[in-house]
Structure 1
Amino acid sequence: MNYRTYAPIYHAAGQATFGATLASTILEHLPLPQRVLDLACGTGAAALVFAANGAIVVGVDLSPDMLRIAQEQAVQRGLDIDWIEADIRALPPDPRLAPASFDMITCLFDSLNQLLNDADLTTVCRTVGTLLRPGGHFIFDLNTPVGLRSWHEYDQVTFDGRDLLVINRLTFDPVQQRAYGRIIWFRRDGQRWWRGEETHCERPWEETDIAAALNAGGLVLTARLTPHWTPATTADPRVVYVAMRPIGDEYV
C-alpha cells in the first residue's frame, strides 16, 4: 500500500497545503456546511479547516499511517473529527455514514485520479449521491487529461529543506493512458541520510466519464473551476468540479 512510509514525508514536505488552501477557498464561496465528509482525507488538511470553521467532520482514508497523522493534528488543534479507515469505493456500514446526512462531501488533491478501474468513479459517485442531503455539494478536483499527458519524463523538486529532499519523477504512458509519479526522498537523521521511494499511478478521466459517473449518482454538475475559483478552460491542468444533489431528489 502507498502512503505508508511516505506518510510522514508527505506531511513534513507540506504537501497537505493544497487541500487546506482549497478547503478555505470552498468556504469563501459556499455556505458553511453543517456536516462534511472528506473522502481520501490523507493527513486531514481539508478536514481540519472545515472543523476549525465549525463543521461536524468525518474523514475517510485507506492509509492508517496518513490517518494517524490526521488524528495527531486534530488533537493538537483541539478539534473533534471522526476518522474512518476504509476504501472510498467500499465504505463500511457505519452510523456516522448515514444516508442523506452530509451537506458537503469533498475529495481533494486529485485523489480520484488514483482510482484506476473503469467503474471506480461511478462507484464513488453513487456512494456520494446516497450520502448527500438534497441540495448538498460534492466537490472534487482532478488532474485533467491535458495535465497528465504533459508529464514528459521530468523531475519535479517537491521539497528541498535542510533535512529533507523530495523529488517526483513524472512520466506518462500514452499506450496504457497512465501517469506515474516516482517519488524519491532523502531524509537526514543525525549524520546519516535515509532514502525512500514510492510510485503513484494516476489515470486521466475524460469529461464524458465524469458526466456519466455524476449522472449515475444522481448528481448535477454546476461548475468547472480552477483551484483559484475562476472558470476553468479546456487547457487547464487541474479542474475543480462542483456538483450537487438536486433539492427534492429522493435518490438513495
Structure 2
Amino acid sequence: MIYHDYAPIYHAAGQAAFGTALAHTILAHLPTPHRALDLACGTGAAALVFAVAGATVVGIDRSPAMLAIAREQASQRGLAITWIEADIRALPDDPQLTPHSFDLCTCLFDSLNHLTGDDDLTNVCRAVGRLLRPGGHFIFDLNTLAGFRTWHEYDQVIFDGRDLLVVNRLHFDQQQQRAYGRFVWFQRRGERWWRGEETHCERPWSDDEIAAALAAGELLTVARLTPEWTPAASDAPRVVYVAERRGAA
C-alpha cells in the first residue's frame, strides 16, 4: 500500500503544507463550516485547519500509517477530530457519516488523481453528494493533463535536509494516460543512511469526466480556480474545483 513506509517521510518533508495552505484559502473565501469532511486526509493537514477554525471535523484515509500521524497531530493540539480508516471509493456505514450533515467536503493535494478506475471518481462523488447538505460545497484539486504532459522524466527534489533527502522522478505515459511519481528517499539514522522507494500512479481526469461524476452526486461545478483562488487557465497544471450540492438549502 502506498503511504505506508512513506508516511513518516511525507510528514518529515513537510508535504502536508499544500493542504494546510489550501484549507486556509478555502476558509478565507467561504464561511466556516459547522461540519467538515476531509477525504484522503493523509496526516490531517486540512482537517486540523478546519478544526482550529471551530468546525466539527471527520477525516478519512485508507492508510493507517498516515492516520497515526494525523491522530498524533490532533492530540498535540488538543483537537477532537474523528478519524476513520476507509477507502474513499467505498465509505463505510458509520454513525459519523450521516447523510446530508456536512457543510463542506474536501479532497486535497491531487488525491483524486490517485483514483485510476473508470468508476472511481463517480463513486466518490455519489458518496459526497449523499453526505453534503443542499448548498454544501465539495472542493478538490487535481493535476491536469496539461500539467502531466510536463512530466518528462525529471527529478523533483522534495526535501533536502541534514538527515533526509527526498527525490521524486516524474514520468507521464501519454499512450496509457498514466502519470508516475517514483519517490526515493535517503534517511540518516545514527551513523547510517537508509534508502526507501515508493511509486505512485495518477490519472488525469478531463472536465467532462469531472462534470459527469459530479452530476451523479447531484453536484455542480461553480468555480474552476488555481490554488491561489484565481480563475484557472485552460492549460493550468493544477486546478481547484469548487462544486455545490444542488437542491434547496
Give the CA deviation at 1:220: 1.0
Give the CA deviation at 1:96: 0.1
Q: What TM-score does the superposition give when structure 2 sets the normalisation length?
A: 0.99
- Which amino acid letter does the alignment assign opposite residue 207 of structure 1? D
Q: What TM-score does the superposition give when structure 1 sets the normalisation length?
A: 0.98
- Which amino acid letter does the alignment assign opposite residue 98 of structure 2? A
Give the CA deviation at 1:235: 1.5
Q: How does 1:66-77 map to 2 (within 5 A)?
A: 66-77=66-77
Q: How does 1:211-230 map to 2 (within 5 A)?
A: 211-230=211-230
Distance in 1, matches of 2:52 and 2:161, equals: 29
- Which amino acid letter does the alignment assign opposite residue 124 of structure 1? V
- The match for 1:84 is 84
Secondary structure of 1:153's counterpart equals: strand
> C-alpha root-mean-square deviation of aligned residues, in Å?
0.7
Distance in 1, matches of 2:235 and 2:209, equals: 18
Distance in 2, matches of 1:216 and 1:16, equals: 30
- Which amino acid letter does the alignment assign opposite residue 237 of structure 1? P
- Which amino acid letter does the alignment assign opposite residue 7 of structure 2? A
- The match for 1:14 is 14
Give the CA deviation at 1:248: 1.4
The runs of at least 4 consecutive aligned structure 1 residues that moved more than 2 Å come to: none
Q: How does 1:71-150 map to 2 (within 5 A)?
A: 71-150=71-150
Secondary structure of 1:236's counterpart equals: coil
- The match for 2:154 is 154
Distance in 2, matches of 1:220 and 1:235, equals: 21
Q: Which runs of 5+ in 2 are unaligned?
A: none
Q: Which runs of 5+ in 1 are unaligned?
A: none
Secondary structure of 2:152's counterpart equals: coil
1:50 equivalent in alignment to 2:50: yes
- Which amino acid letter does the alignment assign opposite residue 88 of structure 1? I
Q: How does 1:26-65 map to 2 (within 5 A)?
A: 26-65=26-65
Secondary structure of 2:140's counterpart equals: strand
Secondary structure of 2:233's counterpart equals: coil
Could you list the per-position Cα deviations for residues 109-143 of structure 1 after superposition, in whole angstroms to 9, with x for gaps in the alignment?
00000000011000100000000001100000000
Identity over aligned residues, as a percent?
Answer: 73
| Alignment: residue pair count | 249
Secondary structure of 1:228's counterpart equals: coil
Give the CA deviation at 1:247: 3.8
1:197 equivalent in alignment to 2:185: no
Give the CA deviation at 1:90: 0.4
Secondary structure of 1:76's counterpart equals: helix
Distance in 2, matches of 1:177 and 1:144, equals: 11
Distance in 1, matches of 2:117 and 2:149, equals: 18
- Which amino acid letter does the alignment assign opposite residue 140 of structure 1? F
- Which amino acid letter does the alignment assign opposite residue 159 of structure 1? F
Could you list the per-position Cα deviations for residues 32-70 of structure 1 after superposition, in whole angstroms to 9, with x for gaps in the alignment?
000000000000000000000100000000000000000
Give the CA deviation at 1:175: 1.2
- Which amino acid letter does the alignment assign opposite residue 24 of structure 2? S
1:233 equivalent in alignment to 2:233: yes
Could you list the per-position Cα deviations for residues 77-106 of structure 1 after superposition, in whole angstroms to 9, with x for gaps in the alignment?
110000000000001100100100100000
Secondary structure of 2:72's counterpart equals: helix
Give the CA deviation at 1:3: 0.4
Secondary structure of 2:4's counterpart equals: coil
Give the CA deviation at 1:148: 1.0
Could you list the per-position Cα deviations for residues 146-204 of structure 1 after superposition, in whole angstroms to 9, with x for gaps in the alignment?
00121010000000000000000000111110000000000000110000000000000
